[in-house]
Amino acid sequence: MAATAGIDNPAVEELRARLEEHGYLADEGIATAIFLAIELERPLLLEGDAGVGKTEVAKTLTRMLDRPLIRLQCYEGIDVSQAVYEWDYARQLLHLRAAEIRSGDQLPQHAEDELYSERFLVRRPLLQAIDQHSDQPPVLLIDELDRADDEFEAFLLEVLSDYTISVPELGTIRADRPPLVVITSNRTRDLHDALKRRCIYHWVPHPGLEQEIAIVQRRAGVGPELARDIARAVERLRTAGLYKPPGVAESIDWARAVARLGREALDEHTAGVTLGQVVKHREDQEQLHRLGMQSILDDTGTD
């Protein structure tokens, strides 16, 4: 793999090797970014097209560092009650009822005071990640942040600035050691500069050919010839002007599908029947049929 042949810095090279041990093939760029995020205790922001392996970085780090993974999947409209904490209203009510019954109609003061205590607090991912006191802080994956709204992003920026969360009824909760934060974005919109400045940034490109062959071999468990055919064909698909150019995830799925048919290389017929694994958008499939399958395969398998 030419791109990773020699990382001069021994610490970065060691990290790359450990990532590989745990199933992630990193080049020097992403290895350096991960290294710096850990060293400087900064969030790691990974941006890139769908399926290039952003989420997988957090998962791999979890395995590699043997730490818990806390995942916050973002979506439009996500708010504090989903991301940070919420009071368990139903249980609070029950608690009041029970206290009422025990003491006749006069509700004792302490029952009310207890309402906003930790036992009624429902911890959502951000609070879980901050409110922990081990020296092995978790990996906090904030996935697809570009889908959340601005206000949420602004809130997140505050949390990531000092790793504290304030719950008005309980006070301020502070992490002993900051979690290792990995943020991903597909760039459906730009994130705020202020947030980006907090982070170590890496734009995750589609892998180079050799890198992709290695990933497909490893992840799909197929032979080198099929992996090469797939990687080449996918590389072509990425420049075919599709709405949704395939990512590594699609390469892997495709290789698996072809292998299941008992093929060790990609021919036109096999490509045709398994195309749905790699090109999922209907209009993209139509466009490919117009172009003809052969245009994607052309010179695959010629060396």
Ligand X SMILES: Nc1ncnc2c1ncn2[C@@H]1O[C@H](COP(=O)(O)OP(=O)(O)OP(=O)(O)O)[C@@H](O)[C@H]1O
∠ CA(245), CA(237), CA(247), 5° rounding? 40
Strands (E), 159-229: 164-167, 171-174, 180-185, 200-203
CA dist., res. 125 & res. 179, Å (int): 12
Residue 220 near residue 256, CB atoms below 8 Å = yes
- Binders of Mg ion among 257-276, rule CB under 5 A? none
Binding of another protein by 190 (CB under 8 A) = yes
What is the pairing mode between strands 171-174 and 164-167?
antiparallel
Q: Which long-range contacts (CB under 8 A, 24 or more apart) does 59-63 make?
A: 59/141, 60/19, 60/22, 60/23, 60/24, 61/34, 61/139, 61/180, 61/182, 62/139, 63/22, 63/23
Contact track, another protein, 99-138, x by CB under 8 A: ----------------------------------------
Count of residues that bind another protein according to CB under 8 A: 42
**C-beta closer to Mg ion: residue 55 or 300:** 55
**C-beta closer to ligand X: residue 179 or 247:** 247
Cβ 71 to Mg ion, closest distance in Å?
10
Q: How far is CA 244 from CA 41, 53, 212, in A?
A: 34, 16, 18
105, 113, 135, 193: which one contacts another protein (CB under 8 A)?
Answer: 193
CA dist., res. 151 & res. 269, Å (int): 50
25 touches which of another protein, ligand X, Mg ion, none (CB within 5 to 8 A by kind)?
ligand X
CA dist., res. 181 & res. 279, Å (int): 32
Neighbours of 162 (CB within 10 A): 12
Binding of ligand X by 215 (CB under 6 A) = yes
> Which range touches another protein (CB under 8 A), out of 36-44, 60-68, 79-87, 118-126?
36-44
Cβ 9 to another protein, closest distance in Å?
5
Binding of ligand X by 51 (CB under 6 A) = yes
Binding of another protein by 263 (CB under 8 A) = no
Binding of Mg ion by 55 (CB under 5 A) = yes
24 touches which of another protein, Mg ion, ligand X, none (CB within 5 to 8 A by kind)?
ligand X
> Which range touches Mg ion (CB under 5 A), out of 22-30, 47-55, 74-82, 174-182?
47-55
> Which range touches ligand X (CB under 6 A), out of 220-228, 243-251, 271-279, 287-295?
243-251
Residue 201 near residue 47, CB atoms below 8 Å = yes
124, 198, 202, 219: which one contacts ligand X (CB under 6 A)?
Answer: 219
Angle between helix 54-65 and helix 28-39 axes, rounded to 10 deg: 60
> Which range touches ligand X (CB under 6 A), out of 49-57, 75-83, 85-93, 236-244?
49-57
Name the site residues for ligand X (rule: CB under 6 A).
23-25, 48, 50-56, 184, 186, 215, 219, 247-249, 252
